[in-house]
Amino acid sequence: MPTTARLGGVYAAAITPLKPDYTPDLEAIPLYLDFLWQRGCQGALLLGTTGEGPSFSPPERLAILRTATKVRSAHPDFHLLAGTGTPSLDETIALTRSAFDLGLDGVIVLPPYYYRKVPDDGLYEWFKEVLLHAVPQDGVLLGYHIPPITGVPLSFGLLRQLKDSFPTTFAGIKDSSNDPEHALQVGKLFGNDFLILNGNDRLFSLAMEAGASGCITALANLFSPDLRRVWEGFKNDKPDQNAQDRLNTARTILERYPPFPPLIKALLPRLHKLPHWQVRPPLLPVSPDTVNQAWESLNDAGTFTDAVEIPAL
């Protein structure tokens, strides 16, 4: 089965449950992933931007990934991707190799983001080393294109060079550019040969029309049923504009209160009666007034469309 079909779908950019002392709540992680599955997610990205990935040490990351695989005992087809990119080449190789050793479906790798004005040739050499030394022949690596955060874009020329050199293991891109023109162009240039997972809920339908295989978004922690409706609609040639409109509204509201991880962790208890998990500094919890404002705006806009029973956490 082609990678685009096998790993396409709706992924949550999963939050990482943390205890009050900022340590990972390992017991909660597989239960939270089960919650995401019940809400219609086909997979999760662990330790991405929403998951505060760069805030964790390599041993912490490995403990989180190892614990996350426990969700497979109940849901063997639930896809798990890991964010393994760091500015260190050796550390990225080690984390990437460990993710595959643990049985994850693939990795999503940030470019080395400390030096922001490096040429594509340098980025190619860096990704080449990761692909050669950490990704097995049946493994899948996606580049993480999020220039608003990293300051290091993955150009179309770089993507083409990596795809030509590693046609199976360099499988695609998580496109978090938040740029509709980029979403159109990456689909036009690479089409069905590339696993394109869009990172902005507001652009999901546009990206699917352009050839994306699915999405990985922060809002999937809260509104995955509508994301699933959009995805299923395109798969069945019956686009669900109502679901996309609700996602547009929710995304517009939540973008008023950046960054996403503290806000999502504060809204989950309101919406789904989950624990109120901590964020790790430098992120700080949002104020009760901010949570109330966001909650009331979402509720008044009619973005809440369902309620789902979840296991006790």
Coil/strand/helix, residue 232? helix
Residues 242-252 have a mean pLDDT of: 97
Active site residue 124: no
Residues 7-24 have a mean pLDDT of: 98
User: pLDDT by residue (tens digit) across 33-62?
Assistant: 999 999 999 999 999 999 999 999 999 999
User: pLDDT by residue (tens digit) across 279-307?
Assistant: 999 999 999 999 999 999 999 999 987 64
Q: What is the pLDDT of residue 306?
A: 64
User: pLDDT by residue (tens digit) across 249-276?
Assistant: 999 999 999 999 999 999 999 999 899 9
Q: Which residue out of 11, 32, 144, 257 is catalytically annotated?
A: 144
pTM of the model: 0.95
Active site residue 217: no
User: pLDDT by residue (tens digit) across 81-102?
Assistant: 999 999 999 999 999 999 999 9
Q: Which residue out of 3, 174, 265, 303 is catalytically annotated?
A: 174
Q: What is the pLDDT of residue 311?
A: 37
Instruction: Report yes or no: 9 and 235 within 8 Å, Cβ to Cβ.
Output: no
Q: Which residue out of 49, 50, 67, 303 is catalytically annotated?
A: 49
Cis peptide before 285 (omega within 30 of 0): no
Q: What is the pLDDT of residue 307?
A: 45
Active site residue 113: no
User: pLDDT by residue (tens digit) across 153-204?
Assistant: 999 999 999 999 999 999 999 999 999 999 999 999 997 789 999 999 999 9
Produce one character per residue of 216-254: b if its CB has 16 or more CB atoms within 10 Å, e if not.
bbbbbbbbbbbbbbbbbbbeeeebbeebbebbbbbbebb
User: pLDDT by residue (tens digit) across 102-143?
Assistant: 999 999 999 999 999 999 999 999 999 999 999 999 999 999
The whole-angstrom separation of Cα 149 and Cα 259 is: 11
Six token digits for residue 306: 């369902």
Six token digits for residue 269: 């208890």
In what helix (H) or strand (E) does residue 228 lie, and over which residues does it extend?
helix 220-235
Q: What is the pLDDT of residue 310?
A: 37
* Dihedral of alpha carbons 225, 75, 312, 274, sign: negative
Q: What is the pLDDT of residue 1?
A: 60
Q: How confident is the model at residue 5 (pLDDT cuts 50, 70, 90)?
A: confident
Q: May I ask the CATH class of domain 3-300?
A: alpha beta
The whole-angstrom separation of Cα 37 and Cα 220 is: 11
Residues 19-31 have a mean pLDDT of: 98
Across the chain, mean pLDDT equals 94
Q: Which residue out of 22, 23, 114, 115 is catalytically annotated?
A: 114
Percent of residues, the chain, with pLDDT higher than 70: 96
Instruction: Report yes or no: 168 and 128 within 8 Å, Cβ to Cβ.
Output: no
The structural domains of the chain, with segments of one domain joined by +, span 3-300
Active site residue 144: yes
Counting DSSP H helices and E strands in the chain, the numbers are: 13, 8
3 contact partners, CB below 8 Å, separation of at least 6: 140, 168, 171, 172, 195
Confidence check: pLDDT of 230 > 60: yes
